[in-house]
Amino acid sequence: MTQRVVVTGVGALTPLGADAHALIEGLNAGRSGIRALDKPWISHLASPLAAPVMSPVEEKFPKLRRLMLDRVAQLSLLATREALTQAGLDLSGEEGEQCGIYWGTGMGGATTLEHAYVESLLNQATRPRPTTIVMFMANASTGQIGIEFKIRGPSFTYSSACSSSAVAIGEAFEAIRCGRIRHAVAGGGEALLTQGVMRAWESLQTLAKPDPLQPECSCRPFSRNRTGFILGEGAAALVLENETTARARGATILAELVGYGNSTDAGHITQPDAQGQARAMRAALAQAGLCPDQIHHINAHGTGTLVGDVVETQALHQVFGPQARHIPISATKALHGHLMGATGAVEMVAALGALRTGVVPPTAHLNQPDPDCDLDYVTEGARQLPVLDQVMSNSFGFGGNNAVLIARRYHP
pLDDT for res 207: 97
Residue 214: C-alpha distances to residues 7, 38, 49, 296, 378 (Å): 38, 17, 11, 32, 21
Q: Whose CA is closest to 359, among 333, 380, 334, 345?
A: 380
Strand partners, 17: 14
**How high is the mean pLDDT in each 10-residue block of the chain (412 residues)?**
96 98 98 96 94 97 96 98 97 95 98 93 83 97 98 98 98 98 98 97 96 97 98 98 98 98 97 98 98 98 98 98 98 98 98 98 97 98 98 98 98 94
Q: How many CB atoms lie within 10 A of CB 181?
A: 21
End-to-end CA distance of the chain: 17
At residue 127, the pLDDT reads: 84
Give CATH superfamily name and number for 1-412.
Answer: Thiolase/Chalcone synthase (3.40.47.10)
pLDDT value, residue 406: 99
Q: Which amino acid is at 372?
A: D
Task: Return the domain boundaries, the chain.
Answer: 1-412
**Which phi and psi angles does 388 have, rounded to 5°?**
-145, 90
- What amino acid positions are annotated as catalytic residues? 162, 301, 338
Torsion of CA 178, 180, 182, 187, to 10 degrees: -90
pLDDT for residue 106: 98
